[in-house]
Amino acid sequence: MSDTELVSTEPATGAFLWRGTCGNVDAEVTEACQSWAAWAARPLSYRVEAMRRFANVVRSRADDFADLIARETGKPLWEARTEVDSVIGKVDISVSAYAERTGQRRLDSQMSARLALRHKPHGVLAVLGPYNFPAHLPNGHIVPALLAGNAVVFKPSEKTPATGAFLVDCYRKAGVPEGCVRLLIGGPEAGRALSSHPLIDGLLFTGSARTGIALNRQFAEQPEKILALEMGGNNPIVVWDTPDVYSAAVLVIQSAFTSAGQRCTAARRLIVEQRLAEPLLDQVNQLIDRMIVGEPHANPAPFMGPVIDNDAADQLTESFLNLSTRGGRPIRYLERPIEGRPFLTPGLIDMTDASERPDVELFGPLLQVVRTESFEEAIAEANNTRYGLSAALVSQDPKRYDAFWANIRAGIVNWNRPTNGAASNAPFGGIGWSGNHRPSAFYAADYCAYPVVSSEAEQARASIGLGLRDA
């Protein structure tokens, strides 16, 4: 990457994929500032129709889009196709959410006046996208922001710029005004310049807790700007008192290793009843033995591809060694099956007797195991994190789930389901270091517009009944 251009390569092969010119932050923000008012003045029906055209454009280009996502992220083609489906489905979900969360309402009022509730757009919203779902996650901000009448300046991850450019091109082909969806190509410096630009009215962020916390500090003295943070998680999956050990193992595999563990909702910690630990880990190991790790278009289709780049793979390998030095007992080592490429086989490490369990998000196929004797201890261990995004319980006892739901600290709490795979027609977000209480997905409408309450009457009729001297 140079100061003037950005190059994207395929993680699975190292092949050149895309080259683009780095953008000018001032120019992109200025263009959005000049365009959003005319877009906001359009009827909602006009903006809805534009979003439906966008969905149709994506649908017509779905194969090319999925192929690009797979090549740029390394994820299997089948998974890239589900991401494109999510991009399409986001439109109808956002239209419904806008009507439910931010629609116009008439409220009861005293003195024959009417009370009206409406919503206004903020203006220009910056969107910083991640690399793990480079189309779906930023699009989850962009669609509701545009529906509300905002303009957007979108900076994709420097690791997946081609997908970001393709997404914006779909908006162009759908006839959305160019000034309302601006693409900013660039590295971390461009992201910092965009987030600190004085003319943006808010920032919608998806990424790491470290960056999110820095943004939170940056915006602390700017209460006039909206900030929505969707960050990561050190997510637990608890397996307790279940007779179906195989199904529990499948749920653990799906939670920890889908997308090569590169999901913010991926399970990072397996907390298991002591008596179930060995049979469960045996089943998990058997499934890993059968797991295909390969390039996106391989046949048969892989379960997972590489992590995003060699730096990420190196950091995960170093993290595994670091956990071992703290007393972790390796069960299954992370391996690099293809020299020079960021493929990793799933890693397992038992941290039950470790001197310290670092509370960090290890963004890859690395699962830590903690054995406990009591369910209360399991819940305490699950809550032993500053994060609070996702948690899952595998158990056939409804009372245990009731206790788990009541006591766990997370924004997503699942029962006999994986920690990941959240639905777009529900709110998505966490607490602690996982977010700032502005959940996305269905609730994204809440931070894309602000409520305006009006007390209204056709004529000015007023009197003062008390506190005046006689005329």
Active site residue ranges: 230, 264
What is d(CA 155, CA 129) in angstroms, rounded to the nearest whole number?
6
Q: How far apart are CA 142 and CA 127, in angstroms?
A: 7
Rounded Cα gap, residues 61 and 174, in angstroms: 12
CA–CA dist 270, 252 (Å, integer): 8
| Cβ(350)–Cβ(369) below 8 Å | yes
- Residues with Cβ < 8 Å from 245, sequence gap 6 or more? 276, 279, 280, 283
R_g (Cα) of the chain, nearest Å: 24
Q: What's the token pair of residue 269?
A: 């910690």
**AA identity, residue 53:** R
CA-closest candidate to residue 54, choices 115, 131, 144: 144
What would the two tokens of residue 31 be?
A: 């263009």
Give the ranges where 42-135 is alpha helix by DSSP (H).
Answer: 44-60, 62-73, 77-102
Give which of 132, 136, 171 is closest to 153, Cα–Cα: 171
Amino acid at 404: F
Residue 110 backbone dihedrals phi, psi, to 5 degrees: -90, 165
Burial of 86 by CB count in 10 Å (0-12 exposed, 13-18 middle, 19+ buried)? middle
Give a three-class secondary structure readout of 400-448. Answer: HHHHHHHHCCCCEEEECCCCCCCCCCCEECCCHHHECCCCEECCHHHHH
Tokens standing for 348? Answer: 């397992």
| Count of beta carbons in the 10 Å neighbourhood of residue 403 | 16
| Calpha distance 203→124 (Å, rounded) | 9
In sequence order, the β-bridge partners of residue 272 are 239, 371
Which candidate, 206, 115, 180, 223, places its Cα nearest to that of 451?
Answer: 115
- Number of Cβ within a 10 Å radius of residue 80: 27
